[in-house]
Each structure stands twice: as C-alpha cells, then as structure tokens.
Amino acid sequence: MPEELLRKTFEIQGWDFENAGERSAEVTTILKDLDVDPNIILRVGVVAFEAEMNVVMYAGRATLTLVVTDDEIVVEVADEGPGIADIELAMQPGYSTASDEMREMGFGYGLGLPNIKKNSDVFSLQSEVGRGTRLHSIIRLISYG
Ligand SMILES: Nc1ncnc2c1ncn2[C@@H]1O[C@H](COP(=O)(O)OP(=O)(O)OP(=O)(O)O)[C@@H](O)[C@H]1O
Ligand SMILES: [Mg+2]
C-alpha cells in the first residue's frame, strides 16, 4: 500500500475571477515544500490551474482535494455546477462555451481539459447535468520501466 504523506482540501468559489488561480498556486507551494520534482510540480500545476479556472468560469462551488502519497499525486475537483452534457465534445481541443468577456481575459481556447488529460497519467471526468462534475487526475512520482 502506498503511504499517504499529505491530504488537503481547498474550496474553490465559482465566478470569482478576482481570486482565481489562488488554490492551484497553494497546491504548487505545498509540493515545493515537499521537495517534489519540478517537472511533476509543473504538471500538477497545469491540472490544478485549468480545473480551478473551469470551476471559476462554468461551475459554482467546488472542492479541490490534493493527495500526495510516496508514489503518486492525486488531484480531484468536484463541483456543484451545471454539469457537462457531452464530455467527448468538451474534451475536444478548441471546443469552448466561454463568453466574449472570458475570451478577452485570455481564456476560452478550449485547451484546458485536453491539457489536463495530457499532463495526467490517469484521467477521468464524470458529470451529471444539473448536479455537477468530478475530475480525477493522477500523476505518478515513480515511473516503472
Ligand atoms: N466544471 C465544468 N462545469 C461545466 N462545464 C465545464 C466544466 N469544465 C469545462 N466545461 C465545459 O467544457 C468546455 C471545454 O473546457 P476546456 O477547459 O477544455 O476549455 P475552456 O475552459 O472553454 O477554454 P480554456 O481552458 O482554453 O480557457 C468549456 O468551454 C465548458 O463548456
Ligand atoms: Mg478551461
């Protein structure tokens, strides 16, 4: 059994552009303090930041849970937003429902979810329309073979 070194849960507030990105910044600070490999921190940072921004832009409240064990880092973001009707479509690079206002702020390229997947060793996205969305990402600390 992998040994759990750290578990922390953060609240993310939807529509809060002012403080957007703060939770993922906290996540990377924690990993730096744990002396995690910088390349791993970069990947977890992308996952946490893109997931956090999606909550800010499309969902309401969410919790981000960070779990660090001696062989992997898990990021789970569960929101109480509108859900995603077509996950396959949402995963396509370039697909975005961002508003003009969000695009003016530099978001809405439709690259967040594909980037999260690319940076994850294990990725899953589950959603129920009207209830919310749950994103689960695992980044391994040890590579086998
Ligand atoms: N947590 C969520 N709740 C509801 N819809 C979501 C959520 N996350 C993503 N989506 C939907 O999936 C689409 C694609 O998300 P993705 O992160 O790939 O791109 P984006 O957020 O539109 O743009 P970018 O991430 O490049 O700024 C979003 O435009 C939105 O319609
Ligand atoms: Mg996004």
2-31, pLDDT tens digit by residue? 899 999 999 999 999 999 999 999 999 999
Ligand 1: lining residues by beta carbon, under 6 Å: 50, 54-55, 57-59, 79, 81-82, 84, 90, 95-98, 107-114, 133
pLDDT at res. 2? 83
Tokens in use for 2? 């992998």
Give the whole-angstrom CA distance, residue 69 versus residue 130: 33
Ligand 2 centroid, distance to 49 Cα (angstroms): 9
Q: Please tell me the pTM assigned to this model.
A: 0.97
Tokens in use for 106? 């530099």
Listed residues: CB within 5 A of ion ligand 2:
54, 112
Task: Tell how far CA 69 is from the center of its chain.
Answer: 18
Paired with 36 in beta bridges are none
For residues 9 and 108, is the Cβ–Cβ distance under 8 A? no
Q: How far is CA 24 from CA 10, 94, 105, 108, 140, in A?
A: 9, 23, 18, 19, 18
What's the sign of the alpha-carbon dihedral 130, 59, 135, 30? negative
Report all structural domains of the chain as residue ranges with CATH numbers, in order of start. 4-140 (3.30.565.10)
Q: Give me the residues of the chain with pLDDT under 70, please.
A: 143-145
